[in-house]
A and B are shown apart, each in its own frame.
Chain A
């Protein structure tokens, strides 16, 4: 079983739509959770960390469900500039291992 699994998509949504991505992780000892954004032919960039109580940053909301071992990312009022691949990343409590999902591709259509 993969450490981190994501639906690769692609998700094609119209501008203004709300879209949600889920990501599941296999190791219950996972400690830190992140969403990264990667634009075509660019490096991944940290979008937001995911906290146990859930957190929001503008149009983006991240949630963590430890019982079911998944994290989610909700994007409201999608913009054309949100088109990218969104990577789910999980870090173990011990050591430096970060596990990446394969990414979910989002295209926002005018």
Chain B
């Protein structure tokens, strides 16, 4: 049973729709992430939230909008997506080591498989 829960598991949406992906972590971690996994590509970091700080990948289109209301919840708001945005979207959390000495590794959610039609 993963400590990171993502909903929905599957989502099909039209290009004009607005939807949101939800992630919740029950591990007391201090950082949360959104990743995109497309076929035959490495995981692409989209957004990071660490305590009060948001670290953003500048190459993420504005049609993806993250929200982190507290340390346990993370959302990814989607609007006017394109078919090439179809992918597996993974949420992860981690506990960073004190003093910036790296991290203890991720725990991933099961992902949302998104299809844009």
Contacts and interface: CB of A to CB of B under 8 A. Distances in A.
A98 B101 contact: no
Contacts of A96: 31, 33, 48, 50, 55, 94, 96, 103
B110 interface: yes
Nearest to B48: A96
25 contacts: A31-B102, A32-B104, A32-B105, A42-B110, A43-B2, A43-B109, A44-B106, A45-B108, A46-B105, A46-B106, A89-B106, A91-B102, A91-B103, A91-B105, A95-B50, A95-B100, A96-B31, A96-B50, A97-B48, A98-B94, A98-B103, A98-B106, A101-B42, A102-B41, A103-B42
Interface residues of B, number: 27
A93 interface: yes
Contacts of A100: 42-43
B102 A93 contact: yes
A32 B102 contact: yes
Given A4-B42, A101-B42, A94 B100 contact: yes
Given A96-B31, A97-B45, A100-B42, A43 B111 contact: yes
Interface residues of A, number: 26
A31 B101 CA distance: 7
Contacts of A21: none
Interface string B79-117: 000000000001000101000111111111111010000
A108 interface: no
A34 B43 CA distance: 14
Interface string A21-60: 0000000000110101000011111100100000000000
A92 interface: yes
A85 to B, nearest CB: 11
Contact of B55 (A42, A43, A46, A95): A95
Point out which of A46, A91, A92 has the most chain B C-beta atoms below 10 A from its C-beta. A91
Given A96-B48, A96-B55, A102-B40, A43 B33 contact: no
Contacts of A41: 113
